[in-house]
Amino acid sequence: MLKKFSLAAVTALVLVACAQSPTGRNQIMLFDNSQLDAMGEQTFEQMKADTPISKDAKINDYVQCIASALLQVTPEEYLRTPWEVVVFDSEQINAFALPGGHIGVYTGLLKVAENQEQLAAVIGHEIAHVMANHSNERLSTNQFVQSALALGDAGTKAYGVRYQQEIMTALGLGAQLGVTLPFSRTHESEADIIGLDLMAKAGFEPRQAVNLWQNMAAASNNNTPQFLSTHPAPENRIAELRARMPEAMTTFNERKKAGRLPSCRK
């Protein structure tokens, strides 16, 4: 029974994977991007209403400088409207980007991202999530999983399957560990790759991305095993970045030779 459900789920997944990410990975896309843009706009406006915005001109100029340099090398199809960059006055060590062209950076992140390169690694990573339509893919995957579980629940009830509740619990756990969380880790790894390329093209030293994630790991108390986490383990993330570093350094050195390196200062 479980094998039949798994086979049906995999078959359906292949049939709806009709889009590709910037890295060439197949994706599930069930929503129109205009819907996601509207959701991103609404979410960002709510965040601006709920969270204090930094009035420190120097910090705002610093963040804007880095974001602008990255957006200048972001492919034009992702710049449908001018991007809005806001610095939130919060101790959170975080940043985000939303569909529709919105970037939020928390002042707490500036204590961990020690220089312009390290902050560029984070902002580039967040822009990459939007470029790769990860919000659309995550929502689509969740909807697919919920639909598949609903069908399975209806099927086991209709045929009077014994231990129906236990089977559905097992299917739910399998969906979480086998689909939802791996997709999240895939998104994070993909955003790392795309973000590394963006920062190199913009003229930010790519090797600082490794230093950034080392700082992030040191600032985190999260000991969750990778297979139960939505993020790659820090050592795996750093290993992947190092594997991609030769190509990124080639791109950066070409920019450096042309004398076009950004100079953003706190």
Per-residue DSSP letters for the chain? -HHHHHHHHHHHHHHH--EE-TTS-EE---S-HHHHHHHHHHHHHHHHHHSPBP--HHHHHHHHHHHHHHHTTS-GGG-SSPPEEEEE------EEEETTTEEEEEGGGGGTS-SHHHHHHHHHHHHHHHHTTHHHHHHHHHHHHHHHHHHHHHHHHHTT-TTHHHHHHHHHHHHIIIIIHHHHHHHHHHHHHHHHHHHHHHT--TTHHHHHHHHHHHH------GGGSSS--HHHHHHHHHHHHHHHHHHHHHHHHTT-------
* pLDDT score of 227: 46
pTM attached to this predicted model:
0.76
Residue 142 has a pLDDT of 65
pLDDT of residue 224: 55
pLDDT of 148 reads 52
Report residue 52: phi and psi, to 5°: -60, 140
| Nearest in space to 197 (alpha carbons), one of 248, 241, 236, 151 | 248
Give the pLDDT confidence score for residue 199 in this predicted structure.
97
| Rounded Cα distance, 100 and 81, in Å | 7
Q: How far is CA 171 from the centre of its chain?
A: 26
CA–CA separation, 132 vs 40, rounded Å? 15
Question: Nearest 5 degrees, angle CA 194-CA 132-CA 21?
Answer: 90
Catalogue the active-site residues: 126
* Distance in angstroms (rounded) separating the CA atoms of residues 133 and 29: 9
How confident is the model at residue 229, as a pLDDT? Answer: 59
Exposed e or buried b per residue across 79-100, where buried means at least 16 C-beta atoms within 10 angstroms of its C-beta: eeeebebbbbebeebbbbbbbb
Dihedrals φ, ψ of 87, to 5°? -100, 120
Rounded CA-CA distance 193/197 in Å is: 6
Residue type, position 53, single letter = I
Mean pLDDT, 10 residues at a time, the chain of 266 residues: 44 54 71 79 90 96 97 88 93 89 94 96 93 80 58 50 50 46 74 95 97 87 55 84 97 94 92
Cα 160 to Cα 231: distance, rounded to the nearest angstrom: 39
Phi-psi region of 160 (alpha: psi -120 to 50; beta: other; left: phi over 0): left
Per-residue pLDDT at 40: 83
Give residue-wise pLDDT tens across range 138-194: 777 666 556 555 555 455 455 554 544 554 455 444 444 444 444 577 888 899 999
